[in-house]
Structure 1
Amino acid sequence: MARMIPSVISPETKSGAEKKIFKWFENAPSTEDWVVFHSLGIAHHQTLIEGEVDFLVVAPKLGIFALEVKGGRVKRKDGMWTFTNRANQVTTKSRGPFEQASEAIFSIMDAIKEKADAAHYNVSNLHFGFGVMVPDIEYGTMGIDEEPWQVFDCNDGDNVRDFIIRLAEGSKKKYEETYGKLNPSKLPTTQDAKYLISILRSDFDKVLAIKARINNAEQELIELTEKQYKCLDQIEENRRGIVYGPAGTGKTLLAIEQAKKSVANGKRVALICFNSSIGTWFETYFNELAKEYKPAYVGTFHSLLMHVMNLAGEKMIVPSDENSKKDFYEEILPSKALEVLIENPLLEFDEIVIDEAQDLIREKYIDVMDLLLKKGFEHGYWKFFGDFSRQAIYADGIDGHQMLEQMEDRTSFIRYKLTENCRNTKQICDDIQTITGYEAPKDLWTKVEGLPVDHKTCSTEDEQLEKLESLLAELQEKNIEKGKITILSPKTRDNSVVSRVEGVKIRDYDFKSSDNITFSTIQSFKGLENSVVILTDVNSYNAVNLMYVALSRARTALYILETKGAHSEYSELLKRRLLNG
């Protein structure tokens, strides 16, 4: 099976021929080290302002090949090409598929030459060729600008592997007729293929990053790290998997991508989280930016249970006081949902994808998932993404190791560990390590330099208020966008110093706060992030799990307003870390 990039074909692909060929490459035997790009964009095309090639195949020991696909009926007469699709729509062009493929491969090799670094410059001189695939017809007559070995037609069936080998042999022979014997060093290696992924996939295979800043409607494209792509590729081959890693390793992005891939493959998917803010963001993202990939259900686990009860015609009233509310969500609601689903399976999903899995691994919750999932929890498809180190702040004392043991008692699954922080600067990572004692693998923390973490020590609440207002004024003077600033506190707003701030508009965090500074409790902001975070009301650093969540929300700048007692704790923690090397 070749490695496909992207790993699933987009629902927007209209060509039935391309869809077939994508599957043929995906399932081709003895192609494990091949990389096949689909719809690769070409920013600097030889003859067009920009262009695209249907498939680009990087096959170690064979070469790099651009493939143009034409489905339906294909005809050439007097130099003009006519293409007729399944709906009998006719298109006439002077540029034929051979010319398109030829221009594409030369444009791609030029792009590779521009992008390749000194250590990999040889990739710009690798052997290459091009071909045309017309899987719906028998292609007979050959023109003077084409060779029989360059064409894949209905007589080839689904044997794309042999076609690439044929292309490699034919293009090699043609090269040697002109330039002499082909040097084996010009054939790509497996390492060359991996490097080409890093410089080519960024042209088109990108996903929208969660920026829990402004109103979260502002989305910018970011490229996932190669390790993250490897994660998606690996878990694709397994029914069940847990992807885990510390804050900042991109778990939520990967959960979204997993859900989108499964939807694209025709599955009925539930994308579930714990935090209501994340649930709201998921809903906004799919409604506004990815409608064609929207899962059958998107939102929090408890909202899903309420939906089940509504379908059953049973109205559930959420208690107002916090203790009763906790019991309602953890015991009463899942128990009632279980009773309903046992009697009547109102909902069923082909796959469940869960973000913030560390907060949802409870026996009763899993019992509910068992009834919601086709083939059940033991044999069905599910993918969990979570942090089983420090972020399980609702786990009632059960650590990450025990959670995973609970899962193993019920079924088998693959594990994949993320080990690269792609959110926080080096200075923020250092402070997380000092305060929480979290000994991360040395490759985890990012090497990106940023601003020093600014600890502001306050003797009284009045002094904390003064320093907070002064900091907000300073940030405004430096033209920091208000929407990029979030104030976090372990306390509710009414009990926080924030309630005393005057002259500055501070909104409770939501997804419509693009022009305002926002406030949130640490617990409610779990899973989210912003460029600048101000952590207030820090009386102690003893609650390390809560502190871990709070500190890791900041992308580029972190300010901490702490009491003298908390500052003394921090000094001791820093001293201990320095002594321990």
Structure 2
Amino acid sequence: MAKCFPEPYDAVSESKAELLLYKALAEQLGPDYVILHSVAWISRPGGSGPREGETDILIAHPVRGLLALEVKGGRVSLDYRTRTWVSIDANGVAHDIKNPFDQARRGKFALLEKLKESPAWKKLGIGRFNIGYAVFVPNVGDGDRLRGPDAPAEMIGDRRDLSDLGAWVGQVLDYWSGQEGAGQQIGTRGVDALVALFARSVSTRPLLSARIADEEDVRFSLTIRQAAILDILRRQRRVVIAGGAGTGKTLIAREKAVRLASEGMRTLLLCYNRGLADHLREQCTTIGGLDVATFHQVCHRWIERVKAKNGRDLLSEARANLPRGDEFDHHMPMALANAVDTLGPIYDAIVVDEAQDFGDEFWLPVEMLLTRPDEAMLYVFLDENQDIYRRSAEIPVQGEPMVLDRNCRNTDAIHAAAYSHYRGAVVEPPQISGVEVNRLLASGIEKQAALIGTLVTKLVVEEGVAPHEIAILLCDPADRPARERALQTLPLPATVKLGRVEDFSRGGLTVDTVARFKGLERAVVILWAFDRCDVGKDRETLYVGMSRAKSLLYVVGSREACDHILAAQT
């Protein structure tokens, strides 16, 4: 049996003919064959604008080469005088269709273009090789009647061939080998590169696994819905993907950016928080053609480039032009727009995470960074419930967002606590029961800090939890220095080093604000400094803070304060 992507029983199509042929090919072709169903891509041949390509079924063999198949169901008729094609369905209704031989031929050449721009394929050094196309009409018993000057009978398959598809596929590949010369064999490495480009499986480690010395054994796999989003994005150039905390937005954003860069497109992965940008950058260090930065880091780099090249201080000019503007919300975006206008755009694709934190003024320079704003890729990931910076951005993407609707990060108990402060479309809880949210009750900073110290010591010494898997998050930063001093005086284990997000290291226990920790996660979160929080006004902060915890969530405060923030779930 051939190797198939996806498995035949997982394949989805509106065409019963496609599914019939795909299953039959899977059963009849040998194990050396690889078959891919419903393959789609976007390429930029010769650096030109994006060009879409697709084929119904792609067959690969390490020795015999590649075959792109176009499948047409129903009874098919044609008139070569008028170049019209018609498919007649089971109800006798006629439908005008495109010339399947033209579609198959375009699929073949678009596939060649995509392979030529793939870095992985280019590394193999494969020159000319056997690649062909064919049309299969599984509901027709006399497919050779469709032959014509551009459609020889050797590249037409019909119902009679369904009983011996191995022979038919072999004959078609031999036909193309004889027509154009066999050339090189693509080999198993060529087949593997093809699978990696069009059908690679997706799995990711927890968000901070790259910085965790003792990596978790269980890997976090994308749900079927999330994997489907990635497949859909192959066919989209501009789209918003929305979802609640823990639904995998950052994981998908990173994976999409990596795929774009791996396909030869200069890509920018953009976010708002420095901590998240640092983490994503570390995960993507080996990916060529991919830049990872916060919006304001991009502003700074471009402003400095113009200063070095032209001697202009664009930030000073922006301050002078808008004296009452804010440095981060107005002056830096304005300076970035002028810098891009001066130097010219460089990116083929931009992926934005944390888009809910981007202000209106951010989007003009973001679009200007794209080499072809009307054609280039722009993927925007957001959670409107995490708008703790109170932005009100007009995102430049038309249409309704795609929605991620299952929490894959938290336990059921943490989900219930965090999502009691969520407002929006229903997000399904995870399938991890976990333990209840724990309360550490005390009044005053010193007593609360003492409870936290006792808890941290127990987690690290008795339960074997690594310090870097723990974060203490402050909802209200007003008295942050006093709380940090109280923690520094605690008799904590020698292996524990307290620090902020940017100080993360082995043995480092993060103590920082919820706002600065956005986009990140820990196995254990201790939520603190919410005594003055208003459940209505500060619900985004509570929602974000609680949802950072994967396995254990502790809330530390007075009984009244803890009851207040957890009341919504009971």
TM-score normalised to structure 2 length: 0.62
Residues 249, 421 of structure 1: 8 Å contact kept = yes
Residues 558 and 326 from structure 1, CA distance in 2 versus in 1: closer, same or farther, beyond 3 angstroms?
farther
Give the 5 Å matches for 1:65-464: 68-70=61-63, 157-159=132-134, 168-170=162-164, 205-212=201-208, 215-216=211-212, 221-287=219-285, 291=286, 293-313=287-307, 314=312, 327-342=326-341, 344-360=342-358, 362-376=359-373, 378-388=374-384, 390-396=385-391, 398=392, 403=393, 406-407=394-395, 410=396, 412-413=398-399, 415-434=401-420, 436=421, 438=423, 441=426, 444-464=428-448
Map of 2:546 onto structure 1: 551
Residues 279, 300 of structure 1: 8 Å contact kept = yes
Query: CA shift at 1:539, angstroms?
Result: 0.6
Query: CA shift at 1:455, angstroms?
Result: 1.4
Q: Choose the corresponding residue for 2:467, options 464, 482, 487.
A: 482
- Distance in structure 1 (CA, Å) of the matches to 2:470 and 2:432: 20
- Distance in structure 1 (CA, Å) of the matches to 2:381 and 2:509: 30
Residues 539 and 354 from structure 1, CA distance in 2 versus in 1: closer, same or farther, beyond 3 angstroms?
same
Q: Choose the corresponding residue for 1:516, options 482, 498, 508.
A: 508
Q: Return 219-228 or 248-257, whichever deviates more.
A: 219-228
Query: CA shift at 1:386, angstroms?
Result: 1.0
Query: CA shift at 1:485, angstroms?
Result: 1.1
Amino acid at match of 1:495: A
1:55 aligns with 2:55: no
Residues 530, 554 of structure 1: 8 Å contact kept = yes
Q: Return 157-166 or 299-308, whichever deviates more.
A: 157-166
Residues 267 and 334 from structure 1, CA distance in 2 versus in 1: closer, same or farther, beyond 3 angstroms?
same
- Distance in structure 2 (CA, Å) of the matches to 1:370 and 1:563: 48
Residues 433 and 268 from structure 1, CA distance in 2 versus in 1: closer, same or farther, beyond 3 angstroms?
closer
SS of aligned partner of 1:347:
coil
Amino acid at match of 2:471: T
Query: CA shift at 1:157, angstroms?
Result: 2.3
Residues 410, 549 of structure 2: 8 Å contact kept = yes
SS of aligned partner of 1:270:
strand
Residues 213, 530 of structure 1: 8 Å contact kept = no
Residues 511 and 218 from structure 1, CA distance in 2 versus in 1: closer, same or farther, beyond 3 angstroms?
farther
Residues 240, 414 of structure 1: 8 Å contact kept = no
Residues 53, 66 of structure 1: 8 Å contact kept = no
SS of aligned partner of 1:448:
coil
Residues 36, 55 of structure 1: 8 Å contact kept = no
TM-score normalised to structure 1 length: 0.61
Map of 1:191 onto structure 2: none
- Distance in structure 2 (CA, Å) of the matches to 1:509 and 1:456: 24
The percentage of aligned residue pairs carrying the same residue is 23
Map of 2:47 onto structure 1: none
- Distance in structure 1 (CA, Å) of the matches to 2:499 and 2:324: 25
Map of 2:79 onto structure 1: none
Amino acid at match of 1:55: V
Spell out, residue by residue over 1:177-225, the C-alpha distance to the aligned partner (whole angstroms, 9 max, x if none). xxxxxxxxxxxxxxxxxxxxxxxxxx96133334336825766643211
How many residue pairs end up in the alignment?
Answer: 404
Residues 438, 554 of structure 2: 8 Å contact kept = yes
Residues 210, 283 of structure 2: 8 Å contact kept = no
Residues 325, 331 of structure 2: 8 Å contact kept = no
Residues 69 and 550 from structure 1, CA distance in 2 versus in 1: closer, same or farther, beyond 3 angstroms?
same
SS of aligned partner of 1:158:
strand
Map of 1:468 onto structure 2: 452
Map of 2:491 onto structure 1: 503
What do you get for the CA RMSD once the two structures are aligned?
A: 3.9
- Distance in structure 2 (CA, Å) of the matches to 1:325 and 1:275: 25
SS of aligned partner of 1:452:
coil
Residues 352, 380 of structure 2: 8 Å contact kept = yes
Residues 487, 519 of structure 1: 8 Å contact kept = yes
- Distance in structure 2 (CA, Å) of the matches to 1:568 and 1:216: 33
Query: CA shift at 1:56, angstroms?
Result: 3.5
Spell out, residue by residue over 1:363-391, the C-alpha distance to the aligned partner (whole angstroms, 9 max, x if none). 32111122211222x54320001112x10
Amino acid at match of 1:446: P
Amino acid at match of 2:339: V
- Distance in structure 2 (CA, Å) of the matches to 1:218 and 1:355: 27
Residues 271, 353 of structure 2: 8 Å contact kept = yes
Spell out, residue by residue over 1:536-579, the C-alpha distance to the aligned partner (whole angstroms, 9 max, x if none). 222144211111110000000001102244134246x34xx55x
- Distance in structure 2 (CA, Å) of the matches to 1:411 and 1:533: 35
Residues 563 and 316 from structure 1, CA distance in 2 versus in 1: closer, same or farther, beyond 3 angstroms?
farther
- Distance in structure 2 (CA, Å) of the matches to 1:479 and 1:164: 63
- Distance in structure 2 (CA, Å) of the matches to 1:301 and 1:243: 19
Residues 462 and 565 from structure 1, CA distance in 2 versus in 1: closer, same or farther, beyond 3 angstroms?
same
Query: CA shift at 1:495, angstroms?
Result: 3.2
- Distance in structure 2 (CA, Å) of the matches to 1:228 and 1:32: 24
- Distance in structure 1 (CA, Å) of the matches to 2:368 and 2:552: 44
Residues 530, 553 of structure 1: 8 Å contact kept = yes
Amino acid at match of 2:283: Y
Residues 243, 386 of structure 1: 8 Å contact kept = yes
- Distance in structure 2 (CA, Å) of the matches to 1:65 and 1:250: 30
Amino acid at match of 2:62: V
Residues 213, 514 of structure 1: 8 Å contact kept = no
- Distance in structure 2 (CA, Å) of the matches to 1:365 and 1:246: 23
- Distance in structure 2 (CA, Å) of the matches to 1:429 and 1:259: 28
Residues 470 and 32 from structure 1, CA distance in 2 versus in 1: closer, same or farther, beyond 3 angstroms?
farther
- Distance in structure 2 (CA, Å) of the matches to 1:558 and 1:537: 14
Residues 511 and 417 from structure 1, CA distance in 2 versus in 1: closer, same or farther, beyond 3 angstroms?
farther
Amino acid at match of 1:488: L
Residues 224 and 214 from structure 1, CA distance in 2 versus in 1: closer, same or farther, beyond 3 angstroms?
closer
Q: Return 550-559 or 235-244, whichever deviates more.
A: 235-244
Query: CA shift at 1:488, angstroms?
Result: 0.9
SS of aligned partner of 1:261:
helix
Residues 372 and 555 from structure 1, CA distance in 2 versus in 1: closer, same or farther, beyond 3 angstroms?
same
Q: Unaligned stretches of 5+ in structure 1?
A: 7-28, 41-45, 47-51, 73-134, 136-152, 175-202, 319-323
Residues 5, 35 of structure 1: 8 Å contact kept = no
Residues 238, 414 of structure 1: 8 Å contact kept = no
- Distance in structure 2 (CA, Å) of the matches to 1:557 and 1:430: 13
- Distance in structure 1 (CA, Å) of the matches to 2:450 and 2:278: 34
Residues 53 and 66 from structure 1, CA distance in 2 versus in 1: closer, same or farther, beyond 3 angstroms?
farther
Query: CA shift at 1:35, angstroms?
Result: 11
- Distance in structure 2 (CA, Å) of the matches to 1:65 and 1:265: 18
- Distance in structure 2 (CA, Å) of the matches to 1:432 and 1:495: 27
Map of 1:528 onto structure 2: 520
Residues 473 and 552 from structure 1, CA distance in 2 versus in 1: closer, same or farther, beyond 3 angstroms?
same
Residues 36 and 517 from structure 1, CA distance in 2 versus in 1: closer, same or farther, beyond 3 angstroms?
farther
Query: CA shift at 1:302, angstroms?
Result: 1.0
Query: CA shift at 1:506, angstroms?
Result: 1.6
